Structure formats: structure tokens, C-alpha cells
Amino acid sequence: MFNNGNIAIIDIGSGKNFTKIGEIAKDNVFHIKSQAEVFYEGFMDGDWLQGDDVGETVIRCLDKALYDLNIKLAEIYIGVPGDFARVQVCSNRLNFGCSHKISANDLQTMADNTAPKNDGRFEVIDMQVVNYILDNKEKSIDPIGKTCYNLGANFSYNMCKKEFYNLFKTILAPYSRKIKFIDSSLAESLIATDKEMRIKNSAVLVDVGYLTTDISYIMGGGLIALNTLPFGGGHIAYDLSYGLELPYNTACYVKSKIDFADNDGNITVRTDNGAVDVEKTYINMIANARLEEICEKITQVISNYKIEYPGYLKIYLTGRGLSDMKGVRTVMAKALNRQCELMNAVINSDEKNKIYLSMAGLMQFVVKSSGRAKQSFLSKFLG
């Protein structure tokens, strides 16, 4: 039934770590055997908020997932968050001098003779093809067998900070000899955005997490830009806590009850001084203000892209920082002045085997990287 050994996939969130352990079956499905999640202080602005907390939390989460399993791990995959990732696009060109039928060797030659600039602060973890361009006009992801006089290529190199790379190589070494890294934003963008749209045009995915927001610009098969903002859903809760004079945990509860389409009545919360009624109008105003600030920053990022992102193309929204608020798509679409599509942060409703979109992206990437996948392992969830 299974094609390889046991695999651990670790998703590093800005407020929580997730681990899935399983195997890839012959049906190209990642079969989950165990899972765990652990809260920690998180990261922001490209740094850990509590340095000593990171390694201990990751190991605790992995040990928790391994607790009832008497197994050895063949491989461990680490999702690299946007705060610790970098994307660099490099181009190359082959001039054949005559009409030439493109072969796999031609594509390999172009890849072998292309390399990103690296000042030593980053580790290259992957390369993806953005697209190939035939005779300066036709774009293709797979041009093998087509004919042209000259062939251009754009390659996207995914890199992560050396400190991040070395940290996880060190702490996970006792668990497996094979430790690999995946750009989380790339994996999530590949699963969340429309493939045909990426090949024909491009797509932008905005993932609003707990403390950070990742903005991924994907074209064809690879990222062409990746930006992070030091704002997330946790900041909305902080604003509510401050503005309503409520404990933070109570403010998180209030945030989970937000419905931007409903300004009538109150939300009742329990405090040390008894039950308190808070006007929905005031709650929505506070949350809306923070979302508008986040959208303003997103707009600034998109407007500075070297390759323009046309205004008629929609923005994909997702993230656990948004998923608990009703009507958030409408609010952000208005603030961004663009059509938006909200992707569920949770792709299945099984509480015992909950799969978040970020982890789903990593799982699908691992399956496809195995070289055996012909279809998404999530077909039964996504149709």
C-alpha cells in the first residue's frame, strides 16, 4: 500500500506549530497516522519573539505526534514561513538559430546554467519554473515537443535564512537524516490559486495569520515576489482588548463573534465584574479600522511590484487571522478596491483530523515532490 517510509511535516505558524506524520500511499494520498499542535510565542518582523521557545516547542510538538507511534522517520519536511523566506527570479535564454524542437535536455541545460545571487545569508531550498517563453510571445509551463527559434525561461528560487535552516537542521537531526525545507507561501499558493489563471496571467494570495501577513505573488509555477507584514488577526484582538478594556482572551472571543454585516445589538461577555454587553457597532468599527490598515499596506506592496498585477485580477484571501470573522471578504474587497475570493483556512470539518490550508499546501507539495503524484491528495476534499 505504501511507497516509502514515515514522513513528518511541520508547519511553523506565527502563534502555533503543527505536525502531521504519515506515509504516501500508491494512490498518491498522504495518509495521516498522527498529528499534534502546540502554541508558542511566535515570530514577527523576521525574528522569534522568544528565541529559546522555538526549538523546545517544535520538538515538543513532534514528540507529541510520535508518542503513540513506534516508528522511525524517513524524512522531515519543514515549512518555511514568509518571515524567514526569500524569493529570487532569474532568467535565461537559448538561441537555436533555426526552428528547433524543444527537448528535456534543453530545459535541463537552461536550469544548470542559471543560478541566483546569494550573499551567504540565505540557503537555496528549491527552484521552480515560473514559465518558458517561446519566440518572445507564447508562455508555457511544459514546452517539450514544441518548436521555436529561441527559448526563454524564468526560474523562481526559494531561499530561507541561514539561521532558520541551521536551527532546524540541528534540532531535528536526532529524528531523521533527511531534513528538507519547503517555502510555505509557495506551497499554499499552488493549492489555493487557479492554475489556468497563474499560467495565463498571475495571482496574489494574502494569508493573514496570527501576528503576520504573507503576500505571495505567483506566476505560472513559481513565486515572483514574497512580502510579509507585521500585522495579523492577533492585532485585531489586541485592539479590541485595548478599546473595550477587556482581557486579551476575552477579546479573542469577541473577535470570533464578529459579523461585519450585523451592527444591531450587543455581544455579551463574562468578566470578573460580571456580564458585560458590548455594542456590535463599536466592535465592528475597531476591527474594521485594523483591517483597513492591513489592506492599505497590502495595496502598497502590490503597487510596488516590478511586474504589474492588473486591477481586474482578484486577490485570494485566507488565514487563521481572518477565518473566524463573518463578512471579512466584503470589508477587505472594499478596502483593497479589488475583487476578492476568501479561501477557507480549514479545508475539512473533522475536528479530530483538522487540516488547515497552509498544512494542506505542504502535504500536497510533499506528495508531488515524491515524483509519483498524478493528482492532488486533496481531491476528495476539494472536488
Contacts of 304 (CB under 8 A, 6+ apart): none
Q: Within this chain, do residues 285 and 323 fall inside the same structural domain, yes or no?
A: yes
Q: Within this chain, do residues 167 and 309 fall inside the same structural domain, yes or no?
A: no
Inside any domain, residue 152 = no
For 177: left if phi > 0, alpha if psi spans -120 to 50, otherwise beta; the answer is alpha
- Name the grid cell of 353: 483530523
**Selection from 196, 220, 218 nearest residue 141 by Cα:** 220
Range of 287's domain? Answer: 231-344
Q: Within this chain, do residues 302 and 351 fall inside the same structural domain, yes or no?
A: no
Q: Within this chain, do residues 277 and 354 fall inside the same structural domain, yes or no?
A: no
In this predicted structure, what is the pLDDT of residue 376?
39
The total number of structural domains that make up the chain: 2
Longest dimension (CA), the chain: 82
CA distances from 14 to 230, 259, 287 (A): 10, 24, 20
In this predicted structure, what is the pLDDT of residue 29?
86
In this predicted structure, what is the pLDDT of residue 273?
78
Q: Within this chain, do residues 378 and 323 fall inside the same structural domain, yes or no?
A: no
Inside any domain, residue 143 = no
Inside any domain, residue 338 = yes
Per-residue pLDDT of the chain (383 residues; tens, 9 = 90+): 445 689 999 999 988 999 999 999 888 889 999 999 999 988 988 889 887 778 899 999 999 999 989 899 999 999 999 999 999 999 999 999 999 999 999 999 999 999 999 888 999 999 999 999 999 888 898 999 999 999 999 999 999 999 999 999 999 999 999 999 999 999 999 999 998 889 889 999 999 999 999 999 999 999 999 999 999 999 999 999 999 999 999 999 999 999 999 999 999 988 887 888 999 999 999 999 999 999 999 999 999 999 999 999 999 999 999 989 999 999 999 999 999 999 988 877 676 677 889 999 999 999 988 764 434 333 333 33
pLDDT digits over 99-156, tens only? 999 999 999 999 999 999 988 899 999 999 999 999 988 889 899 999 999 999 999 9
Three-state SS sequence of 279-292: EHHHHHHHHHHHHH
Q: Within this chain, do residues 377 and 283 fall inside the same structural domain, yes or no?
A: no
Inside any domain, residue 290 = yes
Inside any domain, residue 79 = yes
Q: Within this chain, do residues 176 and 241 fall inside the same structural domain, yes or no?
A: no
What is the CATH number for 332? Answer: 3.30.420.40
pTM above 0.75, yes or no: yes
Q: Within this chain, do residues 327 and 239 fall inside the same structural domain, yes or no?
A: yes
Inside any domain, residue 235 = yes
Q: Within this chain, do residues 378 and 330 fall inside the same structural domain, yes or no?
A: no
Q: Within this chain, do residues 267 and 359 fall inside the same structural domain, yes or no?
A: no
CA distances from 81 to 163, 288, 298 (A): 13, 26, 18
In this predicted structure, what is the pLDDT of residue 349?
66
Q: How deeply is 324 buried, as exposed, middle or buried, from its count of CB atoms within 10 A (0-12, 13-18, 19+)? A: middle
pLDDT digits over 289-316, tens only? 999 999 999 999 999 999 999 999 999 9
Inside any domain, residue 208 = no
Q: Within this chain, do residues 236 and 365 fall inside the same structural domain, yes or no?
A: no
Contact 127, 158 (CB under 8 A): yes
For 287: left if phi > 0, alpha if psi spans -120 to 50, otherwise beta; the answer is alpha
Inside any domain, residue 274 = yes
Q: Within this chain, do residues 51 and 185 fall inside the same structural domain, yes or no?
A: yes
